Amino acid sequence: MEDHAGADLKVSTGSSGNFFTQISQGAPFDVFLSADIQYPQKLVDNKLADKNSLTPYAAGRLALWTMNDKLDVNQGFVILKDAAVTRIAIANPEHAPYGKAAQAALEKAGLWNEIQKKIVLGENIAQTAQYVETGNAEVGLVAWSLLKAPAMQGKGSSWLLPIDAFPKLEQAAVLTNQGAHSALAKQYLVFLRSDEAKTIFARYGFVLPKP
């Protein structure tokens, strides 16, 4: 942010579950932004984060995405049965909330067991998208926000899953015990709650929390 041009900001990206484990083991993070609210809440429950800082900031959306112009993803999940689709990328449901949501969506559609042999797991949602972008998977269930990023504009074709196709991906941030003593970390949480931040989240396709 321009107001803190001199701040030394270090960002690490990955799966929410892995970062939960790292923080639980003493990793020196100040702020934890998770793709669900459960992991931040667990840190609070385990007295590893400031309970008063827990901030739901957006809800994520899932999209079916392909780089193959011969596949019509607007057909929805029916294309997953297509013989031309041999690999379907999702994030690992064991520690990635978007992967857990993808599995839930496929189960709700009655397809999870049928397409098990086609599933390839990304370590996180970014790697999942990379599998599709590089052709290592014909289609993938990825975060809609990734596809809205400038670097991804115009790449491939996508189908946005209905909001009720999977459990709500309520994303939240929390200050770790270390971050609770950092003035800059506290100010960042204030920013996440601001109208400016909400405008940014909306631009990337997130669903904003109700006031």
Q: Domains in the chain and their CATH numbers?
A: 13-59+169-203 (3.40.190.10), 62-160 (3.40.190.10)
Place of tokens 């923080």: 23
Q: What is the pLDDT of residues 65-110, one digit of tens each?
A: 999 999 999 999 999 999 999 999 999 999 999 999 999 999 999 9
What single-letter amino acid sits at 197?
Answer: A
Distances (CA, A) of 62 to 50, 141, 161, 184, 207: 30, 6, 6, 32, 11
Q: What is the pLDDT of residues 19-48, one digit of tens each?
A: 999 999 999 999 999 999 999 999 999 999
pLDDT at 94: 94
Q: How many angstroms separate the CA atoms of 30 and 27, rounded? A: 9
Q: What is the pLDDT of residues 150-177, one digit of tens each?
A: 999 889 999 999 999 999 999 999 999 9
Comparing CA positions, the residue from 49, 195, 47, 25 lying closest to residue 33 is 49
CB 122 within 8 A of CB 13: no
Average pLDDT, the chain: 93
pLDDT at 154: 87
pLDDT at 2: 55
Tell whether the model's pLDDT for residue 210 goes beyond 90.
Answer: no
Tell whether the model's pLDDT for residue 57 goes beyond 80.
Answer: yes
What single-letter amino acid sits at 105?
Answer: A
